[in-house]
Structure formats: C-alpha cells, structure tokens
Amino acid sequence: MVEKNSSKTLLSANQLTCIREERILFDELSFEITAGEIVQIEGPNGSGKTSLLRILAGLSRPYAGDVHYQGMNIIRARDEFNDDLLYLGHLAGVKSELTAEENLNFNLRISGYDKFDTRDILAKVNLAGFEEALAGHLSAGQHRRTALARLWHTNCKIWLLDEPFTAIDKKGVEELEHLFLAHAKRGGCVVLTTHQDMGIIGDDILRKICLEYRFV
Amino acid sequence: MKKGISFRQAFFTLLKRDLQIAIRHKGDIFNPLLFFILVVTLFPLGIGPEPQVLSRVAPGVIWVAALLASMLSLERLFKADYTDGSLEQMLLSPQPLPLMVLAKVLAHWILTGVPLILVAPLLAVLLHLEDNSYGALIATLALGTPVLSLLGAIGVALTVGLHKGGVLLSLLILPLYIPVLIFATTAIDAAGMNLPYSGHLAIIGAMLVGSLVLAPFAIGASLRVSTN
C-alpha cells in the first residue's frame, strides 16, 4: 500500500436512501469520511441517526445506495471491513450475567486480540475495583463504561459510536473526547451521534452531518 | 496490539461464555429437562399401567417429549443476545459468522440435548421400554438431538427480531423435525423386535452431517436478515 496520506478516504456513502415504517428518513445521502476526521451525525429524535450508523456498519441494508470501505463495497469486503470496524450501538453488548472483566475479555477476544491486561484497561475507564462485579449489578454508567473499555484496546480505524456519552459523567466524557482526538491523530476516524455538547472537540475539528425530520 | 486469535480459540471462547452464562442462570438448563421428565412421567398415569400398552407407545412418547423440550428451550438461543446487543457485536466481529453460530448451537445442545440423553434411559424404565431398545434409544437421541438444535436454530434466527415469534417458530420448524421423529421412533421399534436398525441410524446420521455443514450458513444468513 503506497497511499498512506492523511486524506485517505476510509468510508464513503453513495446515494443512501433509507425508508422506515413507510417514511423516508433520508434520501440520496452521499458523503465521504477521511482518515483523521471526527464526524457527528446530528438531528432530532427519529431523524434516522441510528439507522444511518447501522447502515454504515453493514448491519442494515439501505433501501438504495451503498457504502464503500476504501473503495470496496462493505457487503462484499465484509471480512476486511469488520476487521477494521469498531461499532458500539445504543445496546451495549454487555452480558449482565458476566463480570466486567469477563465481558471485556470476551469482547476483546472475539474481536481477535490475544494478549491484553483486562485489569489495566478497566482501570482506564475507572472500573478498578469492579472487575469481579457482575455487569448486571453495575450502575448504568459503569455498564456503559464496560462496553466503552474496548476503545482503549483496539487498532480498528473506523469507530462508529451510537450515543457513546449516554450515562457517562462529565469527566468520562472529557476522557472519551481526548481518546477520540488521539484516535483521529493516529489516522482513524470517529463517527458518532450525540445530543450532548462536546467541550474539547471544538467546532473547528468536528464535522457535522445534519439529518432533518421529514414528514412524508 | 496484534490480532492473533485462531478460529479454534474464537470458537471455544464463545462456547465457554455461553456455558458460563447458563451455569449462572440455572433455570435455562433445568426448565426443558423438567418439562421432559414431567411429560414422560405423566403418560403412564394418563393411559394406565398396562406394560404392553406402555412399551408400545414408549419410543413415541420419549421422542415427542424430547422434541418439544428441545423446541421450548430454543427461543432463548439468540433472544438474550439480541436484546442486549451482543448479537450485533457477533455479526460485526472479524470471526466467520457460521463458526460463531455453530459454537452457540453446540453450547445449546450441551445444555439441553445432553441432559435429555442422560435422563431418557431412566424414564424409559417407567414406560416399560423393550430391553433391547435401550441402545437404539440412546443412539437415536445422540444423533437426533443435535439435528433438532441445528434445524431449530434456523427458525429461531429467522424469528429473533419478532416480538411474538413463538407460534411462527413452531410452524417453521416442526415440519423439519418430523423426519427425525419418524426415523428415530421406527429405529427404536425395530430394535425392540430384534430387527436391524442401522439403516435408520444411518439416515439420522446423514441428517446430522448435512445439517452440521449447511445449517450454520443458513443460521448466519437468517441472523443478518433478522437484525436488518
């Protein structure tokens, strides 16, 4: 691979149309996300933010249009794409019957990582001392942090995060913002939806994609 | 941060997690087993204690109860993963989906199929099963229950996104279960009459191999449709 410059397009959406419950959420939406970008998808409730994120991740199929990862259709190049993708939906994917440590251990191993120190990573998300606690007994914020812990041990370039700040305290949000900036600097990209204002990632760095609520 | 997990390790990681969750959630193991035991023990009370009648219906009763017990437990196979988001993560993980799915079905079979196989000979005593049928009973259950889990998982994968998928699920998978039921019970009957039953076993074995190879792909594709 020769092209390693920072303006490399990681993800591109072509003419995406999404229809849910006989309502057009967005149509012919096209954009490109290049390495080093932090993109916020904005819009009121029901405008299709989560649907767009799920389409970008390859979980849902759009009514029309397609998504390309480095020039390849994500449906056809699913293995390469999944290898480079970290998606966190608004459901955390944390098992309440397992402890925080077991959850993280499973999530990382299934993502393909072999050698890691779960206690060290959990300490980074302020869960030191809760390693042995069942995730079902943790608070909503701690539950969320268990899922977010994966962000501290990953080499995936594309991060798609649906409401990552839900139930996270102010300090935690700051830490996440620093992490996003560092990730963007390393040549990754972050696509997220949130209704919160971000303090550290200013409007000069943040790119916004606005979706509108439509009545059709 | 190198990615160095082999397919085998990924398979066993998922298998271990599912077993661990089930052990902490013991009802998942005992409910289908209890159902199986209850149905089989109620039968002699219902149709009377004559040994001839009981030994005539024993293979059918045991197999129908096993089939329904396996179907009852199926719904949970992907439901919890679907509601807490782990299913999405599994679909997006870099590991091959059919392999992951196979690990989940294997875990389900270990938790529901194996206990049935272990308890069935004891319950067969209650039903006066012919003495020479015991080998056939265990063999057909050992070969047949994995087929039930694999075929059933396709139906579960298709209905996991629906709120009340239970009725649809039984309509979808019962027709697929019937061949297994027919060959298994005729094998046990044949064994009871001292006739060879290896042909029946071979057909159930063929169903097992066929579903083992093809079902994981069908389950994976169904899951992708259901989460759409």
pLDDT score at B2: 67
Number of folded domains in chain A?
Answer: 2
- A164 and A78 in one domain? yes
Q: Which of B220, B72, B227 is nearest to B162 (CA)?
A: B227
Nearest to B85 among A79, A91, A116 (CB): A91
Kindly state whether residues A76 and A127 are assigned to the same domain. no
Distance separating alpha carbons of residues B180 and B103, to the nearest angstrom = 22
What pLDDT is stored for residue A21 in this prediction?
A: 84
Q: Which residues contact B64 (CB under 8 A, 6 or more apart)?
A: B39, B181
Q: Are A20 and A76 members of one domain?
A: yes
At B207, list the tokens. 């169903």
User: What's the pTM value of the predicted model, to 2 decimals?
Assistant: 0.92
The percent of residues in chain B predicted with pLDDT above 90, rounded, is 82
Amino acid at A82: N
Q: How is residue A38 written in tokens?
A: 């932090």
Quote the domain boundaries for residue A112: 97-155
Residue A63 per-residue DSSP state: S
What is residue A197's predicted lDDT score, i.e. its pLDDT?
81
Interface size between A and B, measured as CB pairs under 8 A: 96
Structural domain includes residue A2: no
Q: How far apart are CA A97 and CA A99, in angstroms?
A: 7
Nearest to B30 by CA among B68, B61, B73: B73
pLDDT tens digits, residue range B8-22?
999 999 999 999 999
Q: Are A12 and A76 contained in the same domain?
A: yes
| A167-175 contact pairs (CB < 8 A, 24+) | A167/A139, A167/A140, A167/A141, A167/A143, A168/A141, A168/A144, A169/A141, A172/A125, A172/A126, A172/A141, A172/A145, A173/A198, A173/A199, A174/A199, A174/A200
Residue A51 lies in a domain: yes
- Classify strands A206-210 and A72-73 as parallel, antiparallel or unpaired: unpaired
Quick one: CA dihedral B143, B144, B147, B153, positive or negative?
negative
- Do A144 and A167 fall within a single domain? no
Collapsing DSSP to helix, strand or coil, A66 comes out as strand
Residues A120, A188 within the same domain: no
Residue range B158-206, pLDDT digits in tens: 999 888 878 899 899 999 999 999 999 999 999 999 999 999 999 999 9
**Predicted local distance difference test score (pLDDT) of residue A7:** 67
Q: Is residue A92 part of a domain?
A: no
Task: For residue B101, give both structure tokens.
Answer: 């799915």
What's the CA gap between B81 and B161, in Å, rounded? Answer: 11
Could you tell me if A107 and A53 lie in one domain? no
Q: B84 and A57: CB-CB below 8 Å?
A: no
Residue with tokens 């967005």: A26
Whether residues B21 and A95 touch (CB distance < 8 A) is answered with yes
Here the CATH number for the domain that contains residue A46 is 3.40.50.300
Query: What was the pLDDT predicted at A90?
Result: 86
Q: Which of B7, B29, B76, B89 is best to mutate for the A interface (most A CBs within 10 A)?
A: B89
| Residue pointed to by tokens 């007994």 | A137
d(CA A177, CA A78): 29
Instruction: List pLDDT tens digits, range B127-170.
Output: 999 999 999 999 999 999 999 999 999 999 999 988 887 889 98
Name the stretches of chain A with pLDDT < 70: 1-7, 216
Chain B interface residues facing chain A, Cβ-Cβ under 8 Å?
Answer: 1-5, 9-10, 13-14, 17, 20-21, 24-25, 80, 83-86, 88-95, 100, 227-228
Question: How high is the pLDDT of residue A1?
Answer: 37
Residues of B in contact with A116 (CB under 8 A): 1
pLDDT of residue B1: 66
Q: Residue A39: beta bridge partners?
A: A191, A207
Q: Assess contact for B150 and B211: CB atoms under 8 A.
A: yes
Shared domain check, A135 and A198: no
Cβ distance A112 to B4 less than 8 Å, yes or no, reads yes
CA distance B110 to chain A (A): 19
The predicted pLDDT at position B175 comes to 94
pLDDT of the residue at B99 = 95
